[in-house]
Structure formats: C-alpha cells, structure tokens
Structure 1
Amino acid sequence: MASKEFLEFSEPRAPRENGIEAFNNILPTIKNEILGSRSHWDKHEPKMWSRATRLTNAQLVDFTIEKDLIEIRSATTSYGNIILGKIRIPAVQDEEGEGFIHVRIHDPPNRGTEDVIFHSLFTDEGSPDADGRPTTWRAIQTDEKPLEFFHE
C-alpha cells in the first residue's frame, strides 16, 4: 500500500496533455463519486459538503477537465503512477472564494491512460479533538489547501 513516507511526489504543476487525458478517461466516474459522496455525507454529516448546499447535483458536477483541472502532482510506484488532481467546481464561489475537490487516481504501467482507475476523493475530517471526534468536515477545499497525498 502506498504511503506518503515512501512516495516522492512531483511539485504541483499545471496538467499536461497526458494528465488531462487520464482524468478525462474517468470523468464520469469522478462525477458519480462526487454525487455519491455528497449523498452519503448528507445522511451522516452534512457539514462535509456544506459549501455545495445551495447547488443542485447538476451544478456541483458541471466542470470540465480541460478548463477546471488546475493542478496535478504525481508519484511513481512499482505498480504505476499515483496522480493527484485539483479540480475547480465553478459553481462554488462563496465567502471563502473558489471551491476545489482533490482527486486521487491510479495509472497502471504499460498501457497508456485507457486503464486509469479512480481511487478516491479527499474529504477532510480535520484533526480530532480531545474525545477523538473530527473538528472540521470539508469535501470542497479552498484554493489555499495544498494538493497532498491522501488515503481516503
């Protein structure tokens, strides 16, 4: 299993053609996962997707990779590349500014981008309090939140 201690991620950068292609190959999956995550968290902890409260599902996933994938980082492993992407959600513009989701995908070796696999969305549950409960819930990040490795 990958862990940040053993991975050397590239510096954050604008996506190039192969990164755009990799994310486009799984765009329907990314959008379905966003909607599934929102539905799940709305039942358990509505604060997680609170920045999207006023948005319909269609508005929440109304983004394109070409325009809204603004940053990526990648790391090579023995079983392929792990790619992190910061995707803008154009409909999120509030007192905190623009909204972004962080996505983790996996590109196995030797086959191009046609076999890219969705791995996860970053949902920040914050540092636990003294009782072990999360202190924050955030699925939609601010621009200032760095794109870093996550396990979710």
Structure 2
Amino acid sequence: MASKEELNFNAPHPPKENSIEAFNLLLPTLKSEILKSRHHWDKHEPRMWSRVAGVSDNDLTSFTIENDLVEVRSAATSYGTIILGKIRVVNDNQGEGFVHVRIHDPPNRGNEDVRFHSIFTNEIRPDPEAPPTDFRAIQTREHPLEFFNE
C-alpha cells in the first residue's frame, strides 16, 4: 500500500465524467458505509458524527453524486488509481458539511472494478503523543481533501 509521501495527487478540482461515473458505481456502498461509520462511532465516540446528530439516516444519505460530489483528487499507483472525493451530505445553519471518501480503481478494467476504501474520520490531536481532543467525520468546505489511510 502506498503512503502519503509516495503519492503524487493532482490538484483538487471539480469532478469530471470519469470520477462521477466511478463514484456513482459505488453510490449504494458509499451510503451504506456512511451509515455504518455513523452508527459505529455513535456507540464509541458520539462527537465524531455530532454535526449531523439531528439528521435522519435517510436525510444524511440523500446526496447524489452529480449534485454533491464537489471536489476530487487522484494519484496513480502501481496497483491502480486512488481517488479522493469530497461529498456534501448536509447544508444547514452551520453551512455545508462534507464527508471525504477514498476509493480505488485497479488498472485495466475501466470502472467495473472500482472499490470503496474508506471514509475520513478526523481524530484531532494538537499533540501527536496526546489523546484526541475532538473528533470530526463531517468536514467544512475549507478542510483540504488530502490523502488519508484509514
């Protein structure tokens, strides 16, 4: 598996047709994984998804790729392409909120074998040696879409 230092991601940009197609192939999986993550963290650390605590599962997963995938980045590896996506899942009195998703497209088969990899869950640590002081699965528009290995 590649590390952040080994990857050369392109600049963040609006999704093009190939990214939209890849994320649409995974749409049911993305929605399922968002709910799985939310329910898991709610049992162990409710602050992770607290931004959408009052949002129903149905509303949280009502996004569409065409309207709500707002930014992507990708990097080639020897085993395919890693694609990061910023998906809007909420727009409320606090503004827009996004999940960052990582998917993988192995080489040589087009989009038919695209796979979900993970959702970025941010454990905020002012000191790397200290325990987290905050938890955040919902990111702001300004939070950069960067490689994560979760």
Would you say same fold, with TM above 0.5?
Answer: yes
Equivalences, count: 150
- Deviation track 1:75-129 (CA, whole Å, cap 9, x = no partner) reads 000000000000011x34233x210000000000000011000000000001155
In structure 1, distance between residues paired with 2:142 and 2:28: 27
Instruction: In structure 1, give the amino acid aligned to 2:112.
Output: E
Question: Does the CA-based 8 Å contact 1:129-1:135 persist in structure 2?
Answer: no
Instruction: In structure 1, give the amino acid aligned to 2:50.
Output: S
Q: Which runs of 5+ in 1 are unaligned?
A: none
In structure 2, distance between residues paired with 1:70 and 1:7: 22
Aligned to 1:71, the other structure's residue is in SS state strand
* TM value normalised by structure 2: 0.96
Pick which of 102-111 and 131-140 moved more. Answer: 131-140
Structure 1 runs (4+) deviating above 2 angstroms are: 128-132
* TM value normalised by structure 1: 0.95
RMSD: 1.3
Change in 2 beyond 3 A, CA 1:133/1:113: same
2:7 aligned partner: 7
Change in 2 beyond 3 A, CA 1:130/1:119: closer
Instruction: In structure 2, give the amino acid aligned to 1:94.
Output: N
